[in-house]
Amino acid sequence: MGKKKRGHPDVEELLSRPWCYYCERDFEDLKLLISHQKAKHFKCDRCGKRLNTAGGLSVHMNQVHKENLTTVENALPNRQGLDIEIFGMEGVPEDIIQQHNQRIIQNFYTAQAERQAATGNPPRGLSGGQGPAKKLKYETPEELKKRLADHRAKVAAQKAAGVSGVPVAAAPADGQSPAQGASPFPPPQPGYPYPVPGAVPPYPAAQTYPPTTAAFPPGAAPPAGATAPFPLPARPPSGPAAAAGAPPYFYNGGAGGAPPPGYPGGGAPSTVDELVANAARQGAGGDDIDQMIRLAEAGIKPGAGRNAADEAGAGEKRKKGSRMVYGDTEVSPEEKMAMLPRYRWVEGAAA
Amino acid sequence: MAPAAQFEAAQPPKDAISSLVFSPFASRRMLVSSWDKNVYLYEVADGAEEANLVGTFTHRAPVMDVCFGADDNEAFLAGMDHQVNRLNLTTGEQTVMSTHGAPVRCVVYSSEHSLLISASWDSTLHVHSTRNPSQKPLSIPLPGKPHALAASPTKLVVAMTARLVHIYDLPTLTSTLSSPNPQQPPQPWQQRESSLKFLTRAVACMPNDAGYSTSSIEGRVAVEWFEDSAESQARKYAFKCHRQAAPEEEGGGDVVYPVNALAFHPVYGTFASGGGDGTVALWDAEAKRRMRQYQKFPESVAALAFSSDGRFLAIGVSPGFETGMEDYSGEGRTKVFVRELGETEAKGKGAK
């Protein structure tokens, strides 16, 4: 996908992205936004016709289906109203725009601060002008060690739980090597979704990665910096339109490799905390402890990935045998209700 | 065209609805039977968009089914207490018509033949002639527990467990009853296996006496014809409905709801289905098309009925009983909606 791959878009770039009033998602360009709105918010649930606006859908429902549209589908709870006519970015109230921009800015600086805290790098030249990091968080060696210890515990727990079938133990063993200086190329970060299937290599086993940065030739890695989480990582993709309309949100459902663990679309449900933790870990680029942590992760990932894939497979199976709300093929719901004390009739009790 | 109006009946039943019927006569009276042991009589107001409660009749046990009798003031009810009662809607007086050996699931009245038929979980049908109320009811053993019962002008369709469907000929039942000594219970006119693979939930007969439709717990509706010719039988079909795509996070696929209610439009012969998903759809049986699907109701659709002139569609909603429920109560979540249909809203386009 010949997209520009500059790592962290600067705040202006983010602010200039068109976004959807109904669900606050942002898009590469206006065309995508409009097609998103037609598919997600202005689509008739009776006949599938896509209208251009909520008003149009309302008229359609009224005339074709003799029904009244009351809410916009898939909208955030406070944005379901039909009173505002939205088309693309047109019609969005000024105060909502302000609110959105503020959110974007805040997310941007939060993410930037996190990145800086994690990497210890100064702000990039591009963004340096507008966003001097006010609180640069450096991790002390103690903190790093603690994180390592935590991580080891986690790995051990996972191993104990049988999640990992590969020799993860190798990675912690290498972990004693001291930090060496930042690598100029952050290695590929398996947890982070890429739209390019080839960019997510299926990690065969931990030991194929020698604990040196050389294992990650810069050319094979996605361009540096492109890997940091976009400031809105927590929104799960919803539906095929999401996949088609917004490549940055990666949604290939396990094709071309295991779905990245920790990603909400994957099989394993992940908490926000986990996401944040993952993001923090991914954001950490450069020294050997992180490198080692990533290696350990890489060791785990194929196992975890397989699990996720298995779960996805199970999902496929379930798809065929869909879930019945009432499944008893011999006894009717009424008979079951009749047996409840609430309704049961006992001869003689009331006679 | 003015958008069709929909309104809610005041004072809905206090617990789940078991059945809902419109008067087959010119009036706009509507009976609702409920698990709260009451039968409610509503009347859709003339001109005004409201349905008012006219009377409440309390039975000693939950009422499983109700139907109108020979006129607007007579009703019959099927009770959990094994009884079939005649209910005088003017005085509220109840008289026991017959007693089954188990709760009575369904009751229908055929005004053409003055027959009252009740189906009970004791696996029998009781047939009464209301012309001769003193006569003992004719008891017909069934091969399974009945779950749904419907009468057309000349036929009676009984849907039972194990996907059995028996069709009785009403004139035959009448003649059996009137014979001086009914020794042998009449045989069904036809015995069929349901076209649906799962437990039958509802049956409704076409007003033109040509056939019937059945629905199952597995989100499916079948349409069949009475005529036993290969041609007619080849016309039967079934289709999926009342399903919802499950969210991707839950593994995708469909959530399949039971189709709890079926009702044919008395004029156009189209029919409505109501499901556990809380939706009501209108179908054109001839054209095999869905004509309308109404916006979701707050709870599962328990019962449906068209008024005799086809102008109104009454929809009874209560929480659906789902697999694994330990407890159930329809309290506070049971409602009766009445939808005034537009001129051609329920009119089919005919076979294509």
- The residue with tokens 């992940």 is A270
Question: What's the pLDDT score for residue B31?
Answer: 93
Question: What's the pLDDT score for residue A190?
Answer: 43
CB-nearest partner of A315 from B145, B252, B276: B252
Average pLDDT over residues B294-298: 86
Q: What is the pLDDT of residues A160-169, one digit of tens each?
A: 765 444 444 4
CB-nearest partner of A334 from B64, B292, B295: B64
pLDDT, greater one: B349 or A66: A66
Distance from CA of B351 to the nearest CA of A (A): 20
Question: What's the pLDDT score for residue B34?
Answer: 93
Q: What is the CA radius of gyration of chain B?
A: 19
Strand partners for B120? B104, B124
Lowest mean pLDDT segment, chosen from A42-46, B94-98, B262-266: A42-46
pLDDT over 60 (residue A265): no
Confidence of residue A14 (pLDDT cuts 50, 70, 90): confident
Cα–Cα dist B323/B122, whole Å: 24
Average pLDDT over residues B208-217: 92
Mean pLDDT, chain A, whole residue set: 62
Question: What's the pLDDT score for residue B223?
Answer: 93
Count of pairs with CB atoms under 8 A, one residue in A, one in B: 125
pLDDT over 50 (residue A232): no
Q: What is the pLDDT of residues A109-119, one digit of tens each?
A: 888 888 887 77
pLDDT, greater one: A190 or B42: B42
B154: CB partners within 8 A, 6+ apart: B112, B169, B170, B171, B209
Lowest mean pLDDT segment, chosen from A263-277, B3-17, B107-121, B277-291: A263-277
* A315 near B CB under 8 A: yes
Lowest mean pLDDT segment, chosen from A199-203, B57-61, B262-266, B287-291: A199-203
Confidence of residue A198 (pLDDT cuts 50, 70, 90): very low
Question: What's the pLDDT score for residue A164?
Answer: 43
Which of B18, B300, B328 to mutate to test binding with chain A, by most A CBs within 10 Å of its CB? B328
Q: Which residue of B has its CA nearest to A312?
A: B251
Residues of B in contact with A330 (CB under 8 A): 161-162, 199
pLDDT over 50 (residue A269): no
* A326 near B CB under 8 A: yes
Could you tell me which of A196, A188, A204 has the C-alpha nearest to residue A300?
Answer: A204
Question: What's the pLDDT score for residue B119?
Answer: 94
Question: What's the pLDDT score for residue B350?
Answer: 60
Which of the listed ranges A131-135, A194-198, B3-7, B213-217 does the model predict with the highest average pLDDT? B213-217
Confidence of residue A305 (pLDDT cuts 50, 70, 90): very low
In chain A, the N- to C-terminal Cα span, in Å, equals 79
**Could you give the percent of chain A with pLDDT greater than 70?**
46
Confidence of residue A125 (pLDDT cuts 50, 70, 90): low
pLDDT over 70 (residue A290): no
Question: What's the pLDDT score for residue A44?
Answer: 87
Question: What's the pLDDT score for residue A79?
Answer: 86
Cα–Cα dist A143/A149, whole Å: 10
Q: What is the pLDDT of residues A202-218, one digit of tens each?
A: 444 444 444 444 444 44
Question: What's the pLDDT score for residue B155?
Answer: 92
Question: What's the pLDDT score for residue B182?
Answer: 58
CB-nearest partner of B255 from A322, A338, A342: A322
Residues of B in contact with A328 (CB under 8 A): 199, 217, 323
Confidence of residue B84 (pLDDT cuts 50, 70, 90): very high
Structure token pair of residue A125: 């030249």
Confidence of residue B176 (pLDDT cuts 50, 70, 90): confident
H or E element that contains B233: helix B230-234
Which of the listed ranges A43-57, A309-323, B113-127, B170-184 does the model predict with the highest average pLDDT? B113-127
Distance from CA of A319 to the nearest CA of B (A): 4
Which of the listed ranges A287-296, A311-320, B77-86, B315-324 does the model predict with the highest average pLDDT? B77-86
Confidence of residue B1 (pLDDT cuts 50, 70, 90): very low
Label each residue of chain A as H, E or C.
CCCCCCCCCCHHHHHHCCECCCCCCECCCHHHHHHHHHHHCCECCCCCCECCCHHHHHHHHHHHCCCCCCCCCCCCHHHCCCCCCCECCECCCHHHHHHHHHHHHHHHHHHHHHHHHHHCCCCCHHHHCCCCCCCCCCCCHHHHHHHHHHHHHHHHHHHHCCCCCCCCCHHHHHCCCCCCCCCCCCCCCCCCCCCCHHHCCCCCCHHHCCCCHHHCCCCCCCCCCCCCCCCCCCCCCCHHHHHHHCHHHCCCCCCCCCCCCCCCCCCCCCCHHHHHHHHHHHHCCCCHHHHHHHHHHHHHHHHHHHHHHHHHHHHHHHHHCCEECCCCCCCCHHHHHHHCCCCCCCCCCCC
> Mapping DSSP to helix (H, G, I), strand (E, B) and coil, where does residue B163 land?
helix
pLDDT, greater one: B143 or B50: B143
Confidence of residue B252 (pLDDT cuts 50, 70, 90): low
Residues of A in contact with B257 (CB under 8 A): 325-326
pLDDT over 60 (residue A259): no
* Phi-psi label, residue A239: left if phi above 0, alpha if psi -120 to 50, beta otherwise: left
Cα–Cα dist B286/A266, whole Å: 45
Average pLDDT over residues B66-85: 91
Which of A73, A332, A342 to mutate to test binding with chain B, by most B CBs within 10 Å of its CB? A332
- The residue with tokens 């349901």 is B194
Which of B65, B218, B341 to mutate to test binding with chain A, by most A CBs within 10 Å of its CB? B218
Average pLDDT over residues A213-238: 42
Mean pLDDT, chain B, whole residue set: 87
Residues of B in contact with A324 (CB under 8 A): 217-219, 256, 258, 323
Question: What's the pLDDT score for residue A136?
Answer: 56
Average pLDDT over residues B23-43: 90
